[in-house]
Amino acid sequence: MTIYSTLFYLLAVLILASTAIAVTRRNMVHAVIYLVISFFGSALLFYLFGAPLLAALEVIIYAGAIMILFLFIVMMLRMEGLEDRLFPLKQWLPAVGVCFVYGMVLVMLIVSDTTDAPPMPAAAAAPATFGQFLFQRHWLAIEIVSMLLLIALVGVLRLGRDAGGKTRPESEVAQ
């Protein structure tokens, strides 16, 4: 086993474990922290595969900007009562079904024989060329994504302001 395959398996275990922990956490701040760890692992995996631009974009965009936005949203919504609730059975059944389907697809992919397929040629592009292509041909999609993030941020600010402006009932204040 080479050092690259060892690193690949270690990063795969890190990504899977941190994502599984993030999904099962009841505290949303802890879930966001574990997702950041998962994104850093994905960035290291991209770098291991020879895509440093994607690794940098993973860290800057996902682990940086979007996770900070999620953390901001979690703090603005003040979800105190969610730690005590369990998910109802009607939410578990579809999740188990989807997991079963994905598990079956995974088993089929592992068992299938791919020795007859020719390998795909490697694609390489300089970061400047990729950036020019992205912003010249797909600028509208990038602007739409940035507007969606802005709308989500404004919505959270609105929800936070509405929740903060309401007065609590007298029974809660006396306790």
d(CA 20, CA 66): 19
- List pLDDT tens digits, range 38-93: 999 999 999 998 888 888 888 888 878 777 777 777 777 765 555 555 667 787 88
Dihedral sign of CA atoms 51, 53, 56, 60 in order:
negative
d(CA 165, CA 155): 15
d(CA 43, CA 62): 10
Q: Record the pTM.
A: 0.56
% of residues, the chain, pLDDT over 90 = 22
SS3 164: helix
Q: Which whole-number Å values give the CA distances from 150 to 24, 55, 61, 146, 155, in the listed order? A: 28, 24, 14, 6, 9
d(CA 18, CA 88): 24
